[in-house]
């Protein structure tokens, strides 16, 4: 069976499929290719086209569209809110009809006693934060650096991270409601039983666990999922550290790893950034002060650590231990307690995501637009690389050296950072920013992206999330990984129509 890489807009198969979908979701919720030009916008050059857009209004309608796609052999690419700026936005990897799930925006259940919530794909961080605040919940959804109108469920399925001990969002996701292009629908957790009393509190029933098959894949479409919330801690604040040039990273990271190991600082509560990322998060190049954009300033590193505790004495002890350990390896150490001046519901410590980090997408643009930021609309050039690194100062120093060399060679602004996700590993954040309206900038930036990806792969710093170019460039793997994944996909999506290109097909498996 061959894989469909997209039907032309006038293809009879696509027309028949869209006509059938109109009978299910209504003509008003089917947009043609001509009406879907804005779905082709993204923050880097990419050929994948939206052939049409379907907007089901319920899980049942979404299941019907998926079943019809399988029956007609028409490529279909699900999108929740399309705010994955720098990874692919709303554009498909390969030409496809878009399944826009934003109308599926119900919070189906909030368990205030045990701290979990069941959400559909269209539920946003802002919406969920407001719902928890309205209920005066003792829980929050961990904040993140993206836009508050992004999908909570999609972010979890794509293994996006939040802050704090519960920041592994996919690790806190269970009991998925999944629709297949075969017309089948299944639950992955205890929700599949008639007596589902524990479905909201535990996600691992006896037998095979298959949630992972639906993360960063096109094997099925998740219609809802249960997400574990983080408990509010009454005492929380930040420690800020100026580290200095990259050669000081090994000593600092060694101390930081000890603080995470000893649970003074929680995983997902330690972030390190170079100067380029720090300045781009608050301003654009044309408005940045000269002292902030010197080579020394752009290459200097800093860290933000969060200290959380349920008791004041424990909070004070943790802060004292951390400061004593960090002072010898930092240029300066400071304290920031936002509770004194910021209402709790406006603090990232309690789940508020303000989207301020989006400013970094506009670094090379002539100005920041008034109103809501939309990097796709405003033709920002922006792409992410997300490598995994050992929790070692030498590894982070090597990443800094690679990004600096690529920035110099290709003349593109590169920002770097890392997050401690366990006592063993760091998640790297590397992004390139440019102005897509500048002639030749797209080509230079994407060549720089490719050079970074190749250098990271050579170091063994492989990605935990991939932007569209990273998926397309997926290379060799050991053993029979590719063949097994292909069989799994064919079993769940026999027509190979769902999210074409979303799961890389390796050029060939290396002997292992």
What was the pLDDT predicted at 14? Answer: 84
Query: Residues 377, 273: one domain?
Result: yes
Does some domain include residue 512? no
Q: Are residues 182 and 85 in the same domain?
A: no
| Boundaries of domain holding 19 | 12-100
459 and 384 inside one domain: yes
CB neighbour class for 231 (10 Å; exposed up to 12, middle 13-18, buried from 19): middle
Closest to 155 in 3D by CA, of 140, 139, 171: 171
Q: What is the CATH number of the domain that holds 116?
A: 3.30.465.10
Distance of CA 466 to the CA centre of its chain: 9
The rounded distance, in Å, linking the Cα atoms of 177 and 211 is 10
Assess if residue 45 is contained within a domain.
yes
Interatomic CA distance for residues 402 and 382, integer angstroms: 18
Can you give the pLDDT at residue 348? Answer: 87
- Whether residues 153 and 96 fall in one domain: no
My answer on whether 252 and 214 are in the same domain is no
The verdict on residue 499 lying in a domain is no
46 occurs within a structural domain: yes
| 68 shares its domain with 209 | no
| Strands laid side by side in the 235-244 sheet | 332-336, 235-244, 301-309, 270-274, 413-420, 425-435, 380-390, 463-465
Please give the Cα distance from 54 to 450 (Å, whole number): 33
The CATH number of whichever domain residue 51 belongs to comes to 3.30.43.10
CA torsion 143-144-148-150 (nearest 10°) is: -120
323 belongs to a structural domain: yes
Shared domain check, 417 and 343 = yes
Same-domain status, 76 and 192: no
**Domain shared by 82 and 115, yes or no:** no
Mean pLDDT by 10 residues, the chain (512 residues): 39 88 96 89 95 97 98 96 95 95 98 97 97 96 93 97 94 98 97 93 95 95 98 94 98 98 97 97 96 96 96 96 98 79 79 91 96 95 98 98 96 97 98 98 97 96 94 78 92 96 65 33
> 353 and 456: one domain?
yes
Boundary residue ending a domain (231, 259, 283): 231
What is the pLDDT at residue 345?
Answer: 74
Q: Are residues 192 and 163 in the same domain?
A: yes
Task: Decide if 286 is inside a domain.
Answer: yes
Domain count, the chain: 3
Q: Is residue 491 domain-resident?
A: no
Domain end among 65, 100, 135: 100
Question: Domain boundary residue among 66, 100, 134?
Answer: 100
Does residue 297 belong to any structural domain of this protein?
A: yes
CATH of the domain at 385: 3.40.462.10
User: With contact defined as beta carbons under 8 Å apart, do 220 and 65 qualify?
Assistant: no
| Pair (78, 132) in one structural domain | no
Strands (E), 205-311: 221-228, 230-231, 235-244, 270-274, 301-309
């Amino acid at each position: 069976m061959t894989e469909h890489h997209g039907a032309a807009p006038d293809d009879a198969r696509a027309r028949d499929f869209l006509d059938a979908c109109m009978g299910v979701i209504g003509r008003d919720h089917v947009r043609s290719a001509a009406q879907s030009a804005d779905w082709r916008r993204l923050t880097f050059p990419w050929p994948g086209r939206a052939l049409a857009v379907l907007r089901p209004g319920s899980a049942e309608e979404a299941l019907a569209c998926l079943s019809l796609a399988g029956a007609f052999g028409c490529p279909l690419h699900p999108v929740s809110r399309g705010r994955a700026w720098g990874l692919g936005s709303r554009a498909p990897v390969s030409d496809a009809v878009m399944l826009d799930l934003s109308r599926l925006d119900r919070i189906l259940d909030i368990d205030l006693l045990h701290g979990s919530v069941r959400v559909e794909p269209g539920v946003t961080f802002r919406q969920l934060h407001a719902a928890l605040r309205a209920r005066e919940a003792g829980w929050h959804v961990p904040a993140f650096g993206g836009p508050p109108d992004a999908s909570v469920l999609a972010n979890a399925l794509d293994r996006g991270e939040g802050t704090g001990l519960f920041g592994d969002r996919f690790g806190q996701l269970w009991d998925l409601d999944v629709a297949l292009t075969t017309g089948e629908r299944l639950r992955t957790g205890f929700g599949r039983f008639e007596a589902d009393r524990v479905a909201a509190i535990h996600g691992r029933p006896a037998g095979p666990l298959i949630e992972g098959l639906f993360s960063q894949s096109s094997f099925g479409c998740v219609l809802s999922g249960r997400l574990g919330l983080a408990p509010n801690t009454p005492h929380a604040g930040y420690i800020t550290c100026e580290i200095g040039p990259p050669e000081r990273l090994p000593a600092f990271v060694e101390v930081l790893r000890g603080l995470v190991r000893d649970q003074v600082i929680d995983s997902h509560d330690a972030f390190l950034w170079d100067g380029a990322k720090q300045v781009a998060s608050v301003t654009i190049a044309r408005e940045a002060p000269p002292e902030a954009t010197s080579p020394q300033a752009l290459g200097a590193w800093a860290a933000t650590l969060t200290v959380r505790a349920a008791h004041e004495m424990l909070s004070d002890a943790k802060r004292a231990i951390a400061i004593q350990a960090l002072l010898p390896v930092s240029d300066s150490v400071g304290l920031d307690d936002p509770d004194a001046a910021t209402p709790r519901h406006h603090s990232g410590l309690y789940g508020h995501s303000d989207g301020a980090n989006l400013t970094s997408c506009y670094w090379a643009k002539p100005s920041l637009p008034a109103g809501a930021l939309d990097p796709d609309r405003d033709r920002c050039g922006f792409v992410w690389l997300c490598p995994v690194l050992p929790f070692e100062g030498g590894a982070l120093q090597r990443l800094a050296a690679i990004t600096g060399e690529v920035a110099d060679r290709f003349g593109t602004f590169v920002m770097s950072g890392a997050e401690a996700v366990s006592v063993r590993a760091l998640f790297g954040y590397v992004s390139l920013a440019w102005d897509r309206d500048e002639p030749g900038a797209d080509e230079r930036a994407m060549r720089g992206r490719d050079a970074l990806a190749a250098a990271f792969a050579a170091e063994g710093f492989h990605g935990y999330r991939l932007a569209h170019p990273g998926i397309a460039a997926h290379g060799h793997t050991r053993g029979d990984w590719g063949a097994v994944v292909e069989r799994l996909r064919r079993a769940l999506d026999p027509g190979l129509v769902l999210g074409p290109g979303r799961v890389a097909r390796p050029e060939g498996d290396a002997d292992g």
